[in-house]
Structure 1
Amino acid sequence: MVYIMDEQLAKIRSGDLKLYALEKLMPADEAVSLRRKYIEEETSTDLSAVGSYSIPIDRVVVRNIENMIGCVQIPVGVAGPVVVNGEYAKGSFWLPVATTEGALTASINRGCSAITKAGGAEVRILRDGMTRAPIFAATSVAHATEVARWAEDNLLLLKTAAEETTHHGEMIGLTTYVVGTNVFVRFEFDTKDAMGMNMVTIASEAAAKLIEEETGARMVSTSGNMCCDKKPSAINVIEGRGKSVSAGVFLPDEMVASVFKTDAKTLAEVNMRKNLVGSARAVSLGFNAHAANAIAAIFLACGQDPAHVVEGSNAITTVDAVPGGVYVAVSLPSLQVGTVGGGTTIATQNACLSILGVAGGGENPGDNAKAFAEIVAVAVLAGELSLLGALGAQHLAKAHQELGRGGSK
């Protein structure tokens, strides 16, 4: 066996055997082991820890990653339980969170405790649509205008072309934008339980080809960055992308005092001066304390695309001091989540989705992804409550010191 590996390593070094082609020649575990051995020799690095993993990888090397050499493990904890009063997620949930940031799970957990004691958070999905925006080159401003108008006037034709590429996706609208001779067509799709980027890319390309044929415009790229995927953008804050969801909870004065060691007036002032004024002065697209923390931790645990934390962090936290307490809410206009496809099929991530009861497709297509979005929004709310409370009580630095961890928000 050692002789065979040495022989194969020699072929890799000579270029006769390509790293990316190993899975075509041998079982996945053997291919990963051989590739890892080669990289160990090339970099003089011990990768034995990376080579220790429990997930079945036959599907992973086909669907999730290329040139695999092993797995990087991230600690997974739980926060909660937290009561969610949504339209799709109803009940008490333990939140799986994957992070290397000490104190984060404890922070979310404290917020969950407050939400549950208050009877739970109410959550609503406001909008649901994944976007892709091809860009076309026209010959003149007049031609560009004609292209945009044709697309707007022929929605049903474009919808038919797009939906011929998918059994699950549904085109629900489009918006056009003209910049000189550039025409952007921002298609929007209901992707059911999938996050849906692959789905909408393929469907949008089919629709774009019809626009080319009918208008004479030249499609330059399937994505023209008006989508806007994995980048901070005002359009996603305003128009939404993926799930647009809001979660809120009323906390009575006595609970604010007992759980967070502060009061409603202080919570409202911290939020206004930090999350609203501070973010505005910094020209931030996120008017929140640390929404990305909870989103990233749940995304990593549950097999979501971590790059979509960019759009997810476009959250706005509001705090209303009301008679008898305070109403705290988070609004996430562009939360991209799915419960089928992508990383959700990896065994460990699928197990975390199962903790939430949303793994796989819903009985009604789309229900599981919507339920998951509601749960993520409540996790964000829990994190915001906890950090605002810590800041209001001047406890943030103390908490990090006591837990022996650094960090800043």
Structure 2
Amino acid sequence: MSARSTYNTPIPTQWVGPLVFKGDLVEGEVSVPLATFESPLWPSTARGAGVSRHAGGIQVTLVDERMTRSIAVRAKSAAAAYAAWQRIEAQTETVADLIAGTSRFARLIKLNRQIAGNLLFIRIECATGDASGHNMVTKAAEAVLDWILADQPDLDYSSISGNFCIDKKASAVNGLLGRGKYVIAEMDIPVRLLKRMLRTTPEQMVLLNHEKNYLGGNLAGSLRSANAHFANMLLAFYLATGQDAANIIEGSQGTVQCEDRGDSLYFACTLPNLIVGSVGSGKGNPQVEEHLEKMGCKDERNPGDNARRLAGICAGVVLCGELSLLAAQTNPGELVRTHMEMER
């Protein structure tokens, strides 16, 4: 089967928006493509986008960015594993040079470690330019692993990816140490807009967020997560922009904050593990390239800026969809009624 034939049956895609953004990361109006079989997602996210246009826009803040891979080596004992780590840590500059030599854009940010028995896990954290960086950092990790085994022949290979990364699995470590883009999208929504466009109030939104996302999520055992459906918007956006869709597993680990400010509702979505890239996405799919270009994510910018813009837009999409769904759930019967109307 040719690569071209894999695109013959596309996932239904619609453009939503425009969303309005303010701030340095993303500014102005941006329409976004969402690829999904869940048709109510389009009008629901569009409703949140409408609020952004009337409320002054969505502010997006990039807190951190890095891609990770964790190698694992086996020592004779825990003492030997710790000694091996001390030797590696003392040669961090050598490791940084090795990584820089594997790619034009890979740069070491930090090394982290865990030791379990005689196993040493080393988490390599890198900047990766406009790429999401999975392959880039894995290539760098292999170079570091080969160097470690040559420098310390008493160590044995365990894995090129020892799960301390952690890739496409729910975890606490990514939220604590970072993997992908750490992005926060926020908006201040006047009461009059809440009532007119979403048929809700700040008091209702704050109460629902507390009872559903935090208490309900806690009872369910959610891991670093308190949201209604981040995964829905992430998957639709990832598919439309050629991202590795499995990354919604860690990407959807995020939180919602609602604060009643008297004459407005403060609404924020925090996504600490948003993994996106504006290059290497879609593997040459012309539709993906077109989508990225229309969103201004293929422009001539400094390395990394297009990916940062893409992450900011993605976070705004998540906010719009989350806002709309939570507002619907403050009104008994609205969620079921609208889904039945749209999906029949």
Q: Same fold (TM over 0.5)?
A: yes
**Deviation string for 1:252-273 (max 9, x for gaps)?**
1111111111110000111111
2:295 is the alignment partner of 1:356:
yes
| AA partner of residue 156 (structure 2) | R
| AA partner of residue 297 (structure 1) | A
**Deviation string for 1:38-89 (max 9, x for gaps)?**
xxxxxxxxxxxxxxxxxxx4xx6xxxxxxx6663311110111011124222
Contact 2:191 2:202 in 1 (8 A): yes
| AA partner of residue 309 (structure 1) | I
Normalising to structure 2: TM-score of the pair? Answer: 0.96
Q: Secondary structure at the match of 1:284?
A: coil
Which residue is 2:56 aligned to?
A: 119
Which residue is 1:233 aligned to?
A: 171
Which residue is 1:6 aligned to?
A: none
Q: CA RMSD in A?
A: 1.4
**Deviation string for 1:292-333 (max 9, x for gaps)?**
111110110011011111111011111111121110000001
Query: Given the superposition, is the C-alpha separation of residues 69 and 120 from structure 1 closer, same or farther in structure 2, using an over 3 Å criterion?
Result: closer
Which residue is 2:68 aligned to?
A: 131
Which residue is 1:384 aligned to?
A: 322
Shift of 1:193: 0.2
| AA partner of residue 311 (structure 1) | E
2:95 is the alignment partner of 1:158:
yes
- Identify which of structures 1 and 2 has the higher relative contact order when contacts are C-alpha pairs closer than 8 Å and 6+ apart: 2
- Cα distance in 2 between the residues matched to 1:233 and 1:247: 22
- Cα distance in 2 between the residues matched to 1:238 and 1:393: 35
Counterpart pick for 1:83 among 4, 11, 20: 20
Which residue is 1:300 aligned to?
A: 239
**Deviation string for 1:173-229 (max 9, x for gaps)?**
110110111111000010010011110000011112222222332221110001000
- Cα distance in 1 between the residues matched to 2:54 and 2:117: 56
Which residue is 2:10 aligned to?
A: 73
- Cα distance in 2 between the residues matched to 1:384 and 1:337: 19
Q: Secondary structure at the match of 1:237?
A: helix
- Cα distance in 2 between the residues matched to 1:362 and 1:219: 42
Shift of 1:345: 2.9
Which deviates further from its counterpart, 321-330 or 336-345? 336-345
Counterpart pick for 1:374 among 299, 306, 312: 312
Contact 1:335 1:373 in 2 (8 A): yes
**Deviation string for 1:96-123 (max 9, x for gaps)?**
1001102001110000111121010111
2:128 is the alignment partner of 1:191:
yes
- Cα distance in 1 between the residues matched to 2:292 and 2:171: 29
- Cα distance in 2 between the residues matched to 1:403 and 1:89: 32
2:196 is the alignment partner of 1:258:
yes
Which has the larger Rg? 1
Query: Given the superposition, is the C-alpha separation of residues 341 and 70 from structure 1 closer, same or farther in structure 2, using an over 3 Å criterion?
Result: closer
- Cα distance in 2 between the residues matched to 1:344 and 1:124: 29
| AA partner of residue 372 (structure 1) | L
Query: Given the superposition, is the C-alpha separation of residues 272 and 69 from structure 1 closer, same or farther in structure 2, using an over 3 Å criterion?
Result: closer
Contact 2:40 2:343 in 1 (8 A): no
Q: Secondary structure at the match of 2:165?
A: coil
Shift of 1:154: 1.6
Counterpart pick for 1:212 among 117, 138, 149: 149
Contact 1:291 1:384 in 2 (8 A): yes
- Cα distance in 2 between the residues matched to 1:98 and 1:253: 32
Counterpart pick for 1:242 among 174, 177, 180: 180
| AA partner of residue 269 (structure 1) | L
| AA partner of residue 75 (structure 2) | A
Counterpart pick for 2:159 among 203, 209, 221: 221
2:74 is the alignment partner of 1:99:
no
- For structure 1, the 5+ residue unaligned runs are 1-30, 33-56, 61-67
Shift of 1:362: 4.5
Matches within 5 A, 1:13-28: none
Counterpart pick for 2:336 among 381, 397, 401: 397
Which residue is 2:220 aligned to?
A: 282
| AA partner of residue 222 (structure 2) | S
- Cα distance in 1 between the residues matched to 2:220 and 2:75: 37
Matches within 5 A, 1:36-51: none
- Cα distance in 1 between the residues matched to 2:23 and 2:322: 19
Shift of 1:400: 0.7
| AA partner of residue 166 (structure 2) | C
- Cα distance in 1 between the residues matched to 2:307 and 2:88: 30
Contact 2:35 2:236 in 1 (8 A): yes
- Cα distance in 2 between the residues matched to 1:346 and 1:294: 21
Shift of 1:164: 0.9
- Cα distance in 1 between the residues matched to 2:103 and 2:28: 33
